[in-house]
Every structure is written in structure tokens, then in C-alpha cells.
């Protein structure tokens, strides 16, 4: 229950002066001698001499509650969300086995850390359809756009280094992701492409693929990962140091063509910040509507107040009549 006009309860302050006046009032009857009165046995109704005042206060209380308009019912919030369509494009080429990222105090290859951070990003995008493309020498769709993010996380967990070849076909990856988005009618279509190398394989030129994506209303965010200088890579004979070539210029150009942004991440902490930034830049639009269904309950209180008042008047002029 709630009240439409709770300020009406301020009227209850009127009971304070009424109570004060009632307690201070001492009616008196002048008689020549009290001896005869002392022998009179008090009637049972004398014990109810304060009932009139109680009925008056209860009547005022009921009327005030009625004026406050008590209501019962329910309020329903309806949220309409316009989600985004996002393709997550992940480099699984051989260079992703570089051990220059640290997770929970231990060195891990780049792909393991990317999968960990990306899983957190996926779990935050509850209103969006997400899909995944993996690429190396070739590019293919690992998971279609879906709202079932548990399924997507399963596909992400299955991603392995070298599953699409050891080279890096950035142009083909953009092409496959764009093809997944081009026929959709979502207000925002986004590709988040992550790589640690330069384009050295595939049939599509990355710049041409980006321009095609732009014509289809697709925005591309690019992420270049990896530390500068030699990085350790595990081989059959142990570990070796190699220098990997990250094409910052190309990734920046791809993002600028489509109206996106280019980010770099040289460690796990920076990679977390990159995905958090993208999460804030691309938010689904939501509209909330409130439906309220309620019933007015003031009538019962009003009738109760009137009934108590009539009862008080009836008793005041009959059984509880006072003289003077």
C-alpha cells in the first residue's frame, strides 16, 4: 500500500491541541452536600466516559487516512533494449604463442590472456548479439552472432594457436566478419579486431576490406597487442627470442576509415583497459516504460470515519450524555 498524498498526515497534528484541551478540562457540578452522592453506585457506563474522546480521535484518523488516498496495486517496469551486433575477430596465428603476457603472476601465451580478458568482455554485453571470427593464414567464422553467450564462451575456449594457420590474413578476417554483419538491420554493427602481427597472407587487401566495411555501415576497432623488442616463444627445443612485427600504421588506418579507434596493449593490464574502453564507447540504447495499475482504497476509511463520528454523536446524546 502507498499513499497518493502522504502530506495529508500533517493534519494529525490537530490531535495534539484537542488532547491537551481534553486532559485539562475538569467539569464540575455544584451541590449543597456530597453525602448522598457518595452512596450512589457508579454505573457501568462511567467506565466508558473517555470513549467519546477516543471515538472522536479515531474518526479524525480515518478521515485523514482517506484524504491521503491509500492505494494498492503494482508497478511494472518494461525495458526495451536496442542491442548491438559485434563480431570479435581474434588472431590465432603462430605469433600468438609469445610468452610476454602475465596472468595471475604467471607467464602465459598471448592467446590465453586474450581469451581470459575477452570472456569478461562477453559477459558484460548481455544485451548484444556477439559472434567470433578466428584467423591466421585463413579466416573463418568460429561462432555466428548469438545472444547465447554461454555458447560463445564455449567456442572461445576452444580457440587454439595455429587452428587457422600460422600466418596473418587481416584483410580476409575483416571480410569474413563484414559478411556476417552486412545483411543485418542493427543500428550499430561493430568489429573488434585483435592481432599481434602484420598482414602477410590472404586474398583481401586490409584497406580495401575496411573501405567495404564502411560502405556497409560497419565500424572497426583494432587492437594491436605485444611488447616491443624480442619476446620469448616456446619451441620443441625450449625457448627462443624473436622480434615480432606489429603493423601499427595499418591498424590505425583500418580503424580511421570506418570511424573506429586503434588501441595498443603491451601487457595484460592494458589489454583489460582497452576492452573496458570499447565497452564504454559502444553501449546499447535502452528505453524504460513504467506501467502502474492501482486501486483506490480511501472509501472504506471515509465510511469508517463517518461511522465513528455518528457513533460518538449517538452516545454523546444518549447513554454517555453529561450534565452540564
Q: What pLDDT shows up at residue 260?
A: 95
- The grid cell for 60 is 479524525
pLDDT at 41: 59
Mean pLDDT of the chain: 85
- With a cut of 90, say whether residue 216 has pLDDT above it: yes
Position 24 scores a pLDDT of 80
Domain 80-287 in this protein, CATH class: alpha beta
| Lowest mean pLDDT across 71-75, 123-127, 136-140, 291-295 | 291-295
Does residue 46 surpass a pLDDT of 70? no
Cell 542493427 identifies what position? Answer: 186
- DSSP H helices, the chain, are 15-24, 35-38, 51-67, 110-124, 149-158, 170-181, 206-215, 248-258, 268-281, 298-316
For 146, phi then psi, to 5°, come to -155, 155
> How much is the pLDDT for 119?
96
Angstrom distance (rounded) from CA 227 to CA 264: 10
Q: Are 206 and 170 in contact (CB under 8 A)?
A: yes
Nearest 10 degrees: CA dihedral of 145, 148, 150, 155? -20
In this model, does residue 36 exceed pLDDT 60?
no
Cβ–Cβ < 8 Å for 190, 228 = no
Judged against a pLDDT cut of 80, whether residue 130 lies above it is answered with yes
Q: To 5 degrees, how large is the angle CA 221–CA 188–CA 152?
A: 70
Query: Across residues 302-306, what is the average pLDDT?
Result: 90
pLDDT tier, 264 (very low <50, low <70, confident <90, very high otherwise): very high
Place of cell 612485427: 245
Residue 12 has pLDDT above 60, yes or no: yes
Average pLDDT over residues 22-32: 65
Amino acid at each position: 500500500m502507498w499513499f497518493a498524498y502522504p502530506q495529508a498526515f500533517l493534519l494529525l497534528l490537530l490531535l495534539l491541541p484537542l488532547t491537551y484541551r481534553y486532559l485539562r478540562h475538569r467539569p464540575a457540578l455544584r451541590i449543597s452536600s456530597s453525602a448522598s452522592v457518595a452512596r450512589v453506585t457508579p454505573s457501568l457506563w462511567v467506565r466508558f466516559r473517555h470513549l467519546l474522546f477516543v471515538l472522536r480521535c479515531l474518526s479524525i484518523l480515518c478521515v485523514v487516512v482517506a484524504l491521503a488516498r491509500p492505494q494498492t496495486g503494482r508497478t511494472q517496469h518494461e525495458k526495451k533494449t536496442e542491442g548491438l551486433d559485434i563480431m570479435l575477430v581474434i588472431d590465432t596465428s603462430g605469433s600468438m604463442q609469445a610468452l610476454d603476457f602475465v596472468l595471475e603472476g604467471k607467464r602465459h601465451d598471448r592467446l590465453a590472456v586474450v581469451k581470459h580478458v575477452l570472456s569478461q568482455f562477453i559477459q558484460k554485453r548481455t544485451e548484444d548479439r556477439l559472434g567470433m571470427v578466428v584467423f591466421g593464414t585463413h579466416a573463418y567464422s568460429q561462432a555466428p552472432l548469438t545472444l547465447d553467450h554461454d555458447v560463445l564462451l564455449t567456442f572461445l575456449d576452444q580457440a587454439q594457436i595455429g587452428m587457422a594457420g600460422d600466418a596473418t590474413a587481416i584483410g580476409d578476417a575483416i571480410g569474413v566478419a563484414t559478411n556476417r554483419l552486412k545483411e543485418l538491420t542493427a543500428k550499430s554493427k561493430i568489429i573488434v579486431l585483435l592481432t599481434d602481427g602484420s598482414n602477410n597472407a590472404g586474398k583481401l587487401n586490409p584497406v580495401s576490406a575496411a573501405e567495404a566495411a564502411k560502405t556497409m555501415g560497419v565500424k572497426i576497432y583494432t587492437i594491436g597487442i605485444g611488447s616491443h623488442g624480442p619476446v620469448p616463444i616456446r619451441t620443441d627445443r625450449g625457448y627462443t627470442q624473436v622480434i615480432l612485427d606489429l603493423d601499427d600504421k595499418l591498424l590505425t588506418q583500418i580503424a580511421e576509415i570506418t570511424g573506429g579507434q586503434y588501441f595498443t596493449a603491451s601487457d595484460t593490464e592494458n589489454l583489460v583497459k582497452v576492452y573496458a574502453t570499447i565497452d564504454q564507447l559502444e553501449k546499447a540504447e535502452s528505453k524504460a516504460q513504467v506501467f502502474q495499475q492501482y486501486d483506490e482504497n480511501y472509501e472504506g476509511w471515509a465510511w469508517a470515519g463517518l461511522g465513528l463520528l455518528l457513533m460518538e454523536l449517538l452516545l454523546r446524546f444518549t447513554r454517555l450524555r453529561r450534565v452540564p
